[in-house]
Chain A
Amino acid sequence: MKRNWLRAILGGLSFGTMLFVFEACYGTPQDNAGFDVLVQGKVKSKATGQAIKGIKVSAVYSPQFQYTDDQGKFSFYVYTGGTFALKFQDTDSIQNGTYQSKDTTLYNARDTVFVDVALENN
């Protein structure tokens, strides 16, 4: 506790970067800057309620994506400043049925978000 006070005072005196940001020779910079959130969820068919495998779940404005597994599940960290959007796309043509794409915007997400999505058939 005492230590955090000291850190706050020194940080306030503009010594923050000098004191707390460091990296070892053969190491990396610290992960000080990023805000991310773990997005987990499941994609199913609106018509049947069945899980859909192979749906591409993308983080909008980012190169990140993941495909849903056998149980329709996905789980990945997304960079966020509080708000972010996910896109759900059926990119494997007719392999697991054909579904319409869907966009979801999530607000003020912190730590972990659960997103369950039902896609309509084409």
Chain B
Amino acid sequence: MIRYIKREIFRGFKKHETRVHPLNYLFWECTSRCNLNCLHCGSDCTKDSSYDDMPLADFLSALDTIPHTSERITVVLTGGEPLLRSDIEQCGMEIRKRGMHWSMVSNGYLYDEQKHIALLNAGMGALTFSLDGLEENHNWLRNAKNSFSKADRAIDLAVKSPRLNFDVVTCVNQRNLTELPAIYDYLIQKGVKAWRLFTIVPIGRARHNPDLFLADQQLKEVMDFIKTRRKLSLIDVKFSCEGFVGTYENQVRNGFFFCRAGINIGSILIDGSISACPNIDRSFAQGDIYHDNFFDTWQSKFKPFRDRGWTKTGQCKKCSDYNDCLGNGMHYWHGEKENVLVCHNEKIKCASKN
């Protein structure tokens, strides 16, 4: 009964947020350069390092179109690897001075004590490192021999800072699936407070590597793993926002599925495009900061994000869960957009039948 009431309130809230669409979370793809060559990279977005880093001044001009409101905005620096920018502290400082908060996603490879202090000095308030397994598996996926030891050092620094809202993300695949309990123990022993698991989208170069994708039964195993570990409350482990998970809704994350792309989440991408999460098909861009006013674009465009009716096609057309799912995460629509690339709900249902 309580679950039912919560779900109804959540449905109303979703509609309301979609109508008002407050911008709370802004990705800035500040570089497309990277110091690693991960096997799953390119599965989600165009990692074309032929782009120069976006000059800070260009980004700030776009940021300055956002009026001062009571909304709390976190600007998420992403890439590529943001730490390759030599002016990363200055970028953070300028964002923070504008009353906005900022955070960074990193592979942790270049994150040492000096960098840690410099970024805290610049007002960094949240941080995410990727860790895709214990030593062997992490190094395999990250395609670099010592990437685990570097990530390990970075985690040690981050957990010590009371200022940081810090978490670790793990991309679950065939090779690290059985290792999840060991990663869980490792993170708890490290003092990590929050851990997010996500899966890989079958596009780009990842598409050709079957080791990266989970079978139906394996996805269900991940759900069960998260569900049981959440009950222990030793670490805030959760499934990422990526998809609607049917019977596991509200049990594997703090709340129900809600793809907030273009509703609360916007982005400024490496070429100046204005969009939402960087893993969304680039054809959804709504404008670009070199020709359009960023905030006007946020306020007046983004129709495909705020009215997902176009996703009622392919297998979503007659889906009985459509109202709660609305076609899954927007990053599962690519190319001709004739069908959703992955339906988590269907995979879980199939696994439950077998």
Residues of A within 8 A of B (CB): 3-4, 6, 10, 13, 15, 17-19, 21-34, 36, 38, 62-66, 76-77, 79
Contact = CB atoms under 8 A, between A and B. Distances in A.
B25 interface: yes
A17 B9 CA distance: 14
B126 A77 contact: no
Interface stretch (B53-61, B100-108, B175-183, B319-327): B100-108
A97 B46 CA distance: 54
Contact of B165 (A18, A29, A63, A66): A29
Given A26-B78, A32-B165, A77-B121, A15 B128 contact: no
B260 interface: yes
Contacts of B265: 24, 27
Interface residues of B, number: 64
Given A22-B260, A24-B265, A29-B165, A38 B123 contact: yes
A10 B279 CA distance: 31
Nearest to B9: A15
Given A18-B256, A22-B260, A34-B101, 17 more contacts: A10-B9, A10-B13, A22-B241, A22-B258, A24-B260, A25-B169, A25-B277, A26-B78, A29-B128, A30-B165, A31-B165, A32-B165, A33-B165, A34-B164, A65-B117, A77-B93, A79-B161
B44 A30 contact: no
> Closest 10 CB pairs between A and B?
A31-B125, A18-B255, A31-B101, A76-B121, A77-B123, A79-B163, A28-B103, A28-B128, A25-B240, A31-B126
Contacts of A26: 44, 78, 105, 277-279
B103 A29 contact: yes
Contact of B254 (A6, A13, A17, A33): A17
Contact of A64 (B117, B256, B258): B117
A6 B163 contact: no
B16 interface: yes
A66 B255 CA distance: 41
A83 to B, nearest CB: 14
Interface string B274-307: 0001110000000000000000000000000000
B264 interface: yes
B331 interface: yes
B125 to A, nearest CB: 3
Interface in B218-246: 240-242
A11 to B, nearest CB: 11
A75 to B, nearest CB: 8
A30 B22 CA distance: 14
Nearest to A37: B123
A28 B104 contact: yes
